[in-house]
């Protein structure tokens, strides 16, 4: 096709074909003067087809109706002032109630503080779960008090601001209760303050429905709730989404788009951001020798994308999460538990080695994995004060959430009794030498992200050197303990308590945990003698 037949928005440069189109004037404040992007086409005809599809999509998206919808939203300053004035009114009412009640007894004061603490916990939970029902109710009250259109209470930015505002109100109320003042932290915004309530509403913040902007808002909220490692995993997954996205604003996503995203993800290169690949486009990578990511990795990425889209639904940016239920099926796990001869080979090898004091974890982690069924992350984060007794000479590991050990979920919090053979190997004496803090503090120098980083790599190398296949991993100890407990006719509730699984039972799931003294007999019944008998106690190792 001759160059003269190309549409004006198709450009050819030495580096390839590009789409370039001027943005209609009303949209320029949001999108800039023009939209330009590579077409990643290997021929002019292919470039023209892709560009025409893009141009048609832009025409639909940049319609006058969409612009009117944006312009009817409250501005950032308006929302900020609305929430601030609502908090001020609520605090004034709370202060008047305190003055009317007069002096409180000590018990009444403690009860009042407890109530405020509960209110704060509930507000934080609503923020974490994006429960906007109460936020919408409060936003409606606030809008009515300011003489504004109450339909703004349905706007995602307004709901988000009131979710955060409820937390701030609870914190200030507690401060007011304790000290009688908020130190002037809240002041009412008057009509002369930064023109807070203009008669003509302004547009939403620039690009509020564009993918990159929404990802930024989503991640800002997640940082308050998730640990650093999980945050980095989300950032990686959403970076992949951003690279594969070709659908304009998030509001344009459809079922077809969700399926196309899934297919593109299954064709996404392994190690995309590493080495030479980081400077190449996807098309350039695929012209060389490359491999796609695994189905398991694709499943994790897509699941995080779906979580992001669910957040968009909760914020009322989109009506439906089209990604939900369409994640690629992860590769079926081939992990299995240990066979007796494999365990014998492993521990025979371990007992033939002497470990320096800063490598004590190489001795203890496999033993503890075999004797408790705990996850490697849980064992790497054990602190000396996590090794406790119930007062009846029953020693146990108190597995709880901490700054260095973030548990998988709430049911992972548990007390796992120590097997008598572990105690016989000198574990309690080893714990006493640590004098507080982590039992294996040297693990911190390998990775600031995960204490199990180096142990996982070490164990992987160890099992490979011993001739074990990929189906055997540290987690195989967990499978084995579950099987051994079943074979010993251990009650299912006790097995779940030992492993930190959900009880799904009113008796145990709702009303409490099973005591370590009850679990002790089941742990000691684990037949560890054939494997640990040859292990010398830790104290005898030089």
Does residue 79 sit in the same domain as residue 49?
no
Helix 295-314 / helix 255-266 crossing angle, nearest 10 deg:
150
Task: Quote the DSSP letter at residue 368.
Answer: H
As a whole number, mean pLDDT of residues 260-289 equals 87
Does residue 251 sit in the same domain as residue 279?
yes
CATH number at residue 430: 1.10.443
User: To which H or E segment does residue 11 belong?
Assistant: strand 10-13
pLDDT value of position 504: 58
As a whole number, mean pLDDT of residues 369-374 equals 93
Confidence band for 458, pLDDT divided at 50, 70 and 90: very high
Asked, for residue 288, whether it belongs to a domain, the answer is: yes
Res 489 pLDDT > 70: yes
User: To which H or E segment does residue 414 belong?
Assistant: strand 414-417
Does residue 62 sit in the same domain as residue 81?
no
Asked, for residue 140, whether it belongs to a domain, the answer is: yes
DSSP string, 387-456: EEE-SSS-EEEEE---SS---SSGGG-EEEEPPHHHHHTTHHHHHHHH-SSBSSGGGGGT-SS-TTHHHH
pLDDT value of position 331: 62
Reduce the DSSP state of residue 22 to 3 states and report it: strand
Which has more confidence, 120 or 26? 120
**Domain final residue pick, 179, 202, 228:** 179
Does residue 513 sit in the same domain as residue 443?
yes
Asked, for residue 374, whether it belongs to a domain, the answer is: yes
Q: What is the pTM of this model?
A: 0.49
Asked, for residue 309, whether it belongs to a domain, the answer is: yes
Res 456 pLDDT > 70: yes
Res 521 pLDDT > 70: yes
Does residue 309 sit in the same domain as residue 371?
no
Res 539 pLDDT > 50: yes
Confidence band for 1, pLDDT divided at 50, 70 and 90: very low
- Cβ distance 488 to 524 under 8 Å? no
**Number of domain units in the chain:** 4
Asked, for residue 321, whether it belongs to a domain, the answer is: no
**Domain final residue pick, 156, 179, 202:** 179
pLDDT value of position 154: 84
Asked, for residue 335, whether it belongs to a domain, the answer is: no
Asked, for residue 200, whether it belongs to a domain, the answer is: no
Does residue 260 sit in the same domain as residue 306?
yes
As a whole number, mean pLDDT of residues 18-35 equals 74
**Domain final residue pick, 70, 90, 116:** 70
pLDDT value of position 510: 40
Does residue 119 sit in the same domain as residue 22?
no
Asked, for residue 481, whether it belongs to a domain, the answer is: yes
* N-terminal to C-terminal alpha carbon distance within the chain: 80
Separation of alpha carbons 368 and 512, rounded Å = 25
Does residue 147 sit in the same domain as residue 224?
no
Give the structural domain span for 224.
Answer: 211-314
Does residue 352 sit in the same domain as residue 485?
yes
Count of residues for the chain? 542
| Predicted confidence (pLDDT) per residue in 305-356, tens digit | 999 999 888 888 888 999 988 888 766 666 788 898 999 999 988 888 777 8
Does residue 78 sit in the same domain as residue 45?
no
Structure-block tokens of residue 174: 């507690």
Separation of alpha carbons 210 and 62, rounded Å = 12
Does residue 449 sit in the same domain as residue 497?
yes
| Predicted confidence (pLDDT) per residue in 228-264, tens digit | 778 888 999 999 999 999 888 888 888 888 999 999 9
| Predicted confidence (pLDDT) per residue in 388-431, tens digit | 998 777 899 998 877 666 676 677 889 999 999 999 999 999 99
Confidence band for 201, pLDDT divided at 50, 70 and 90: very low
Which has more confidence, 508 or 492? 492
Structure-block tokens of residue 217: 């808002």
Q: How many CA atoms lie within 13 A of 283 on its CB side?
A: 7
Does residue 138 sit in the same domain as residue 21?
no
């Amino acid at each position: 096709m001759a160059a003269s037949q190309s549409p004006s928005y198709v450009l050819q440069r030495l580096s390839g074909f590009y789409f370039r189109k001027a943005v209609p004037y009303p949209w320029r404040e949001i999108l800039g003067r023009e939209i330009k992007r590579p077409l990643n086409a290997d021929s002019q005809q292919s470039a023209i087809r892709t560009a025409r599809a893009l141009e048609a999509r832009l025409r639909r998206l940049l319609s006058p109706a969409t612009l009117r919808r944006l312009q009817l939203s409250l501005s950032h300053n308006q929302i900020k002032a609305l929430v601030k004035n609502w908090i001020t009114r609520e605090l004034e009412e709370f202060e008047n109630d305190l003055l009317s009640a007069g002096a409180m007894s000590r018990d009444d004061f403690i009860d009042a503080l407890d109530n405020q603490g509960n209110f704060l916990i509930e507000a934080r939970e609503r923020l974490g779960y994006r429960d906007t029902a109460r936020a919408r109710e409060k936003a409606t009250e606030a809008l009515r008090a300011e003489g504004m259109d109450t339909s703004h209470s349905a706007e995602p930015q307004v709901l988000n601001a009131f979710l955060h505002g409820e937390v701030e109100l609870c914190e200030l109320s507690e401060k007011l209760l304790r000290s009688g003042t908020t130190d002037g932290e809240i002041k009412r915004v008057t009509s002369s303050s930064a023109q807070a309530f203009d008669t003509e509403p302004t547009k939403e913040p620039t690009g509020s429905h564009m993918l990159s902007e929404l990802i930024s808002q989503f991640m800002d909220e997640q940082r308050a709730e998730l640990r650093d490692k999980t945050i980095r995993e989300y950032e990686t997954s959403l970076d992949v989404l951003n690279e594969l996205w070709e659908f304009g604003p998030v509001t344009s996503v459809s079922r077809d788009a969700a399926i196309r995203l899934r297919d593109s993800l299954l064709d996404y290169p392994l190690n995309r951001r590493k080495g030479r690949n980081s400077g190449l486009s996807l098309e350039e990578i695929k012209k060389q020798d490359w491999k796609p990511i695994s189905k398991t990795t694709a499943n994790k990425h897509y699941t995080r994308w779906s979580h992001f889209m669910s957040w968009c639904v909760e914020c009322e940016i989109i009506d439906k999460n089209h990604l939900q239920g369409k994640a690629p099926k992860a590769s079926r796990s081939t992990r299995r538990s240990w066979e007796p001869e494999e365990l014998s080979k492993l521990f025979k090898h371990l007992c033939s080695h002497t470990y320096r004091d800063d490598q004590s974890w190489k001795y203890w982690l496999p033993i503890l994995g075999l004797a408790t069924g705990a996850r490697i992350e849980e064992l790497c984060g054990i602190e000396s004060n996590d090794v406790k007794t119930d007062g009846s000479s029953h020693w146990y590991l108190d597995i709880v959430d901490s700054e260095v050990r973030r548990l998988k979920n709430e049911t992972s919090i548990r007390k796992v009794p120590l097997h008598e053979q572990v105690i016989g190997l000198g574990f309690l004496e080893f714990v006493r030498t640590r004098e507080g803090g982590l039992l294996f503090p040297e693990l911190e120098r390998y990775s600031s992200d995960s204490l199990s980083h180096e142990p996982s790599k070490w164990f992987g190398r160890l099992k490979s050197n011993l001739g074990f296949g990929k189906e055997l991993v540290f987690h195989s100890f967990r499978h084995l303990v579950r099987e051994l407990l079943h074979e010993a006719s251990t009650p299912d509730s006790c097995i779940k308590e030992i492993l930190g699984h959900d009880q799904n039972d009113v008796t145990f799931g709702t009303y409490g945990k099973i005591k370590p003294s009850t679990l002790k007999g089941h742990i000691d019944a684990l037949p560890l003698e054939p494997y640990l008998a040859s292990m010398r106690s830790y104290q005898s190792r030089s």
